[in-house]
Amino acid sequence: MPVTLLAICLGPAAPAGAAAAVLGQLGFGGPDPRWRAYGGRLLVAQVAEAPGEERLQRLLRVPGVRAVHDRTPGRRSAAPARVPIGRTAFGGGALPIVAGPCSVEGEAQVLAIAEAVADAGADALRGGAWKPRSSPYSFGGLGEAGLRLLARARERTGLPVVTEVLDPGDIDEVARHADMLQVGSRNMHNQALLFAAGANPPGRPVLLKRGFAATIEELLLAAEYVELGRLAAGHDGPGVVLCERGLRSFEPSLRYQLDVGAVPVVHATSPLPIVVDPSHAAGHVEFVPALAAAAVAAGADGLLVEVHVDPERAWSDGEQTLAPGPFRELVRQVRAIAALRPGAAAGGAAAGRQP
Ligand code: PEP
Ligand code: MN
């Protein structure tokens, strides 16, 4: 039986009985698997029927209720979401390119890379201050010092910064320094982190990478945790960008198998923008440009590319990291492909999306 999924947001000064009053209005007498509370600011509920205008107004009149959202898939706005980054946006027909090192290694490194990628036409700087590593003996990032270096690189170049957060305890600090929070592939199932990242105090958007063994539906549900975090914190508007970065397969020649098909599938089923990371998928520099070209031809809303001024000496993922020269060539090539996409000349909201 189809159900309606409601998200009811309470304001910061909601009275103590607000949640109980909302649940009473929805016909719930106590604990029930059909509703769930997220802290004191958000209730979600599955109800049999979409509330009509009168019931909606009654819910909105409960003291402390700030907003009621119908989150039923199919009933949410189908218009492509536009998520701003610096002077451009994911999902508006542009092709933001986020580029930079796998890890922040030091001031000279990150400043030189930021300048090189800015000069080659990147729109934002990436770089990990905290790195998820398979081996606990591998370099784990510079932590807070890395964040400060990224902020300095932004001051120097004007590029907005995208960086990963691994621990809910670091979210506030990351959101203070970065323009966009990345939740990595390995944390796509970490629901507490997803929700908390969405709720980051300044309301920075989140770049959510697909788990390398996750279905597209699981990716979209993970994105919903981020969106609920945003609603709970009172951040309006969509603030999630999905990222396809390859799946684990039986084929060993590339590090992962890029699921280019995820791009049109997400466009057909979700308003969220989807970017592609050809670097982690390829695992080897020589394959990165072809995967980037395929992603853009398929309608990707942006790219995430690893670039280093000296890839051979990179502290992580050097094998898949482009030097500035090949990166410049990649940018030239993908911008030429993007110009051929349906709607590119018109530059409308649907530009770049495949039919
Ligand atoms: C990254 O982009 O820095 C990263 C670790 O990628 P992924 O989570 O896709 O492995
Ligand atoms: Mn990497």
Q: How distant, in Å, are the alpha carbons of 111, 150, 151, 159, 177 from that of 155?
A: 10, 9, 6, 8, 11
Of 70, 98, 116, the last residue of a domain is 70
Nearby residues for ligand 2 (ion, Cβ within 5 Å): 102, 317
> Could you say which ligand is closest to the alpha carbon of residue 248?
1
Do 106 and 254 belong together in one domain?
A: yes
Q: What is the dihedral of CA 238, 240, 241, 247, to 10 degrees?
A: -140
Note whether residue 56 is domain-resident.
Answer: yes
Domain of 218, CATH number, reads 3.20.20.70
Of 70, 93, 125, the last residue of a domain is 70
Nearest by Cα to 225 from 213, 211, 208, 212: 208
pLDDT per residue over 20-37, tens digit each? Answer: 999 999 999 999 999 999
184 contact partners, CB below 8 Å, separation of at least 6:
132, 164, 166, 209
Domain of 10, CATH number, reads 3.30.70.260
Q: Are 56 and 68 in contact (CB under 8 A)?
A: yes
Residue with tokens 């270096």: 149
pLDDT tier at 98, thresholds 50, 70, 90: very high
Of 70, 93, 124, the last residue of a domain is 70
**pLDDT at 322 (0 to 100):** 99
Note down the domain range covering 63: 4-70
Task: From 277, 307, 320, give the residue whose CB has the most ligand 1 atoms within 8 Å, as the site to mutate.
Answer: 277
Note whether residue 351 is domain-resident.
Answer: no
Do 187 and 48 belong together in one domain?
A: no
Mean pLDDT of 71-89: 89
Do 19 and 158 belong together in one domain?
A: no
Cα of 279 vs centre of ligand 1, distance in Å, is 9
Angle at CA of residue 245, ends 241 and 250, nearest 5°: 150
Do 106 and 171 belong together in one domain?
A: yes
Q: Alpha helix locations (H) across 127-233?
A: 144-157, 171-177, 191-198, 216-232
In the structure encoding, which two tokens stand for residue 53, read together? Answer: 């205008």
Note whether residue 51 is domain-resident.
Answer: yes
353 has a pLDDT exceeding 60: no
Note whether residue 224 is domain-resident.
Answer: yes
Cα of 198 vs centre of ligand 2, distance in Å, is 23
How long a stretch of residues is the chain? 355
> Could you say which ligand is closest to the alpha carbon of residue 164?
1
Do 168 and 274 belong together in one domain?
A: yes
Note whether residue 320 is domain-resident.
Answer: yes
**pLDDT at 78 (0 to 100):** 72
Do 38 and 144 belong together in one domain?
A: no
Note whether residue 355 is domain-resident.
Answer: no
Note whether residue 269 is domain-resident.
Answer: yes
Instruction: Tell me if 207 CB under 6 Å of ligand 1.
Output: no
Do 190 and 120 belong together in one domain?
A: yes
Q: How many folded domains does the chain comprise?
A: 2
pLDDT per residue over 43-77, tens digit each? Answer: 999 999 888 999 999 999 999 999 999 999 887 77
Q: How far apart are CA 98 and CA 88, in angstroms?
A: 11
Note whether residue 352 is domain-resident.
Answer: no
Task: From 113, 163, 180, 245, give the residue whose CB has the most ligand 1 atoms within 8 Å, as the site to mutate.
Answer: 245
Q: How far apart are CA 258 and CA 289, in angstroms?
A: 13
What predicted TM-score, i.e. pTM, was given to this entire model?
Answer: 0.96
Q: Report the half-sphere exposure of 354 (CA within 13 A, side-chain side).
A: 18
Do 130 and 247 belong together in one domain?
A: yes
**pLDDT at 344 (0 to 100):** 87
Q: What is the per-residue DSSP string for 213-274?
A: T--HHHHHHHHHHHHHHHHHTT--S--EEEEE--B--S--SSSSB--TTHHHHHHHH-SS-E
